[in-house]
Amino acid sequence: MTDLRLEEVSVGSLENVGLDVGAGEVVCLSGPSGSGKSRLLRAVADLEPHQGRVFLGDTEQASVPAHHWRKQVMLVPADSQWWFDEVGAHFPEACRQQVPEALGFAPEVMHWTISRLSSGERQRLALWRALALEPSALLLDEPTANLDHDLSLAVEEWLLAEIRTRQMPVLWVAHDRAQIQRVADRHLHIVGNTLEPIHGSD
């Protein structure tokens, strides 16, 4: 089982963050905008200089080449980028034929041009693009921000099923209290420069 462990991580205004996310566990992060949620995810993905150590199982972040680390600990940003003309070109060869049903696309979406995608469609495809690369841990930055309620529920359900099957530790930045209730095993809120646990009704 691989867990994701943060030891005394400091980035931006956050100081000495210690956190252990178990395999298949979803830890939600919330906090006012500008409190450093996204920066913390970027530090865990090693996209931003930071202090402290991060482990995936027994592997320390600094001990492997950065792009190997990011392939394992994958960050899905709030606004995804697409650089080829066609959707399919962004996916590994083996995943160009199918799209998970829960995302609400026909398989033809792989032949669509990027310019016809709405922001919600981009966001759902970005989640599938990340999972298709088979990471060992996920860092999700508001993964359903551009989706309506029903689609949000469907995507959540699909994500949770994938997370449980693949036993990935997940850090999930979210705003919506109801969503946090639905998906989180634990909920941490950023107060000042630390993370404080919030105990829900369950």
Partner 1 sequence: MEVIDLAWWKLALAALLIVALAGVSLYARLGVTRSLLVAAARTGIQLALIGLVLEALFASAELYWIALLSLVMLLVAGREVMARQKRRLYGVWAFGVGTGAMFVSSFAVTILALTVIIGPSPWYTPQYAIPLLGMMLGNTMTGVALSLDRLNDSVWSQRAVIENRLMLGQSWREAMEGIRVEAMRSGMMPSINAMAAAGIVSLPGMMTGQILAGSPPAVAVKYQILVMLLITVGTGFGTLMAVSWGSRRLFDDRERLRLDRLIKTEH
Q: x/- contact string, 82-101, with partner 1 (CB under 8 A)?
A: -x------------------
Tokens matching residue 10? 């400091």
CA distance to 28, 40, 72, 138, 155, per residue, from 172 (Å): 5, 11, 16, 8, 13
In what side-by-side order are the strands of the sheet with 4-11?
Answer: 14-21, 4-11, 51-56, 59-60
Does position 79 interact with partner 1 (CB under 8 A)? The reply is yes
Does position 129 interact with partner 1 (CB under 8 A)? The reply is yes
Residue 101 or residue 134: which is nearer to partner 1 going by CB? Answer: 134
Does position 75 interact with partner 1 (CB under 8 A)? The reply is yes
Helix (H) or strand (E) holding 188: strand 186-191
**128 vs 135: CA distance, rounded Å:** 11
Residue 130 or residue 180: which is nearer to partner 1 going by CB? Answer: 130
Q: Cα-flanking dihedrals φ and ψ of residue 138, to 5°?
A: -125, 140
- The number of residues that bind partner 1 (CB under 8 A) is 25
| Cβ 201 to partner 1 shortest distance, Å | 34
Residue 41 or residue 180: which is nearer to partner 1 going by CB? Answer: 41
Does position 115 interact with partner 1 (CB under 8 A)? The reply is no
The C-alpha torsion from 76 through 78 and 81 to 87, rounded to 10°, is: 70
Does position 46 interact with partner 1 (CB under 8 A)? The reply is yes
Does position 170 interact with partner 1 (CB under 8 A)? The reply is no
**172 vs 184: CA distance, rounded Å:** 8
CB atoms within 10 A of CB 152: 19
Does position 133 interact with partner 1 (CB under 8 A)? The reply is yes
Does position 70 interact with partner 1 (CB under 8 A)? The reply is yes
Does position 74 interact with partner 1 (CB under 8 A)? The reply is yes
Does position 76 interact with partner 1 (CB under 8 A)? The reply is yes
CA distance to 7, 112, 200, per residue, from 141 (Å): 21, 25, 21
Residue 40 or residue 180: which is nearer to partner 1 going by CB? Answer: 40
Does position 48 interact with partner 1 (CB under 8 A)? The reply is yes
Contact positions vs partner 1 (CB under 8 A): 45-49, 62, 65-68, 70-72, 74-77, 79-81, 83, 129-130, 133, 135
